[in-house]
Amino acid sequence: MNLRLSERDLRVLAKCAVSKWLTTSQLQRLYFPDVTPDAARKSLRRLSQAEYLISFRENPVAEALFAVGSKAKGLLATKGLEVDWCRTPPRQVEHLIGINDVRIAVEAEPSRVAYFFSFWEFPQFHWDHAVIPDALFALKCPERCTFVMEYDRGNETREQLSRKFLAYGAGLSSFLFDAVMLVTDTPERLETVRHHLRHRLVSVRLLGATLSAIKTIGVHAVEFQDIRATSERTTLLAELRESIS
């Protein structure tokens, strides 16, 4: 099937390349904000039928997932984007979807983003640290602030998370960052982790918020909990550099 690709089509393919798999609703938020869900699905179906996208649905009522298709791989390679082509999502696809939700929220204001890299992009930087975060990103707040991000769905124990945060506190050699951002699925999980870490000797700044809050009001408007604080202290990302200095 021959298809003339629009600029929006090319942006969809490029975003799928760096994000691995994106849901229909994620792609609609990014590239179809002013059309109906049916119109967005029709456009994505058109790219799938032409083999520029792969679509996957776990069951008839599940939301569709999209990844780069066979015809897009060569096209994207000419633009410097290498694609690991696969027909099915990874086993822990919900974790990947959550990381991409954070990415979409961070990149919603491009002028305030220096970079965002998910863990599957780390090999290009020869990442050799023992601890591997879910993402690294830097924002202009307005001074640059760099974050290590962990998305927690409750699959790791509190002790496993504690060991990660202690490792971050020990530092990542040449990689300098301002804070660790913990994103959880529920407020209850965030409070559980905060209570567990209250008396741990974690030296790094820890900020916590729920994924739903970040998706709903945006990463710059969320009041992040200061997890190590003894009181219920919160902070906006724009205030972080001021509080550090």
Q: Tell me, what's the pLDDT at 156?
A: 86
Residue 145, pLDDT above cutoff 70: yes
What whole-number percentage of the chain has pLDDT above 90?
60
For the chain, domain boundaries: 7-89, 95-244
Question: Side-chain half-sphere of 82: how many Cα atoms within 13 Å?
Answer: 5
CATH of domain 7-89: 1.10.10.10
Q: Of 231, 137, 232, which is closest to residue 223 (Cα–Cα)?
A: 232
**Which class for 230: exposed (0-12), middle (13-18), buried (19 or more C-beta within 10 A)?**
exposed
Alpha-carbon distance 188 to 200, whole Å?
A: 19
Q: How far is CA 111 from CA 69, 92, 107, 142, in A?
A: 30, 32, 9, 10
Q: Tell me, what's the pLDDT at 230?
A: 66
Higher-pLDDT residue of 243, 193: 193
CATH 3.40.91 correct for 95-244: yes
Alpha-carbon distance 38 to 43, whole Å?
A: 9
99 in helix, strand or coil? helix
CB 115 within 8 A of CB 152: no
Q: Tell me, what's the pLDDT at 51?
A: 94
pLDDT in tens, 206-224: 999 999 999 999 999 999 9
Alpha-carbon distance 214 to 176, whole Å?
A: 24
Question: Side-chain half-sphere of 198: how many Cα atoms within 13 Å?
Answer: 10
Contacts of 90 (CB under 8 A, 6+ apart): 20, 21, 96
